[in-house]
Homo-oligomer: A and B are copies of this chain.
Amino acid sequence: MEIKVLKNILKDNAHKAQDNNIHLKSKNISTLNLLASPGAGKTSIIIKTAEKLKNEKNIVVIEGDLESTIDSQKLAELGIPAIQINTGGGCHLDANMVGHALEAMDVPKDSILFIENVGNLVCTAAYDLGEDMKVVILSSAEGHDKPYKYPLIFENADAVILNKTDLMPYVDFSRDLFYKGVRALNENCPIFEVSCRDGSGLDEWTQWLKSKVM
């Protein structure tokens, strides 16, 4: 019984995600679904990417959180248009929530739309939102074993960002085991090592992003 309901939810979600994608494509908007644990640096990646691309692309953000408007306020203060979805306890965004957000904000043609999902490596992996790409962000402080423990999200990633590389000297993180873990699930996705704090690796990431969206 529960399984049947879950299947219906996922089927309905897939339809709505397709609607979102058709709508976004009709306006030539490139959409990234950002997936990560709490505190991996999703908002920081958006801010740093927006800084790099501000003269070339319009950046718009949909922020997903259980509660609070901390991140959307932070973005608004930097002049990055953002709309907040509060899931009120819900552990992931779904395509319907994103559809409502798209009705509430008029995303300009040719923009890049970042959807910052709820901080969660599990439930977010199962729900398409209408995005073109899923980008998984991991902080080096979380450890190299995460691909082994949370395989689905790495399996479906179009790109992986290993963030907070500046913390590498102070944590036990094996690059070899991390890459081995990701590659066992996903042979081809690019992996970017970046630090939003010292700026390293951000050029490589934004160059790749530009090659995908322009």
Give A contacts to B, CB under 8 Å: 1-2, 5, 9, 37-39, 65-68, 70, 89-91, 118-123, 139, 141-143, 145-146, 148-152, 164, 166-167, 170-171, 197
Give A10 Cβ to nearest chain B Cβ, in Å.
12
Instruction: Known contacts A66-B122, A70-B149; decide if A142 and B91 are in contact (CB<8 Å).
Output: no
Note all chain B residues with C-beta closer than 8 A to A119: 37, 121, 149-150
A66:B151 contact, CB within 8 angstroms: yes
Known interface pairs A9-B2, A166-B170, A171-B167; A91-B122 also in contact (CB < 8 Å): yes
> Nearest CB to that of A150 among chain B residues?
B66
- Cβ contact within 8 Å between A39 and B167: no
**Given A2-B9, A123-B123, A166-B170, 4 additional A-B pairs, CB 8 A:** A37-B37, A68-B145, A89-B122, A139-B141
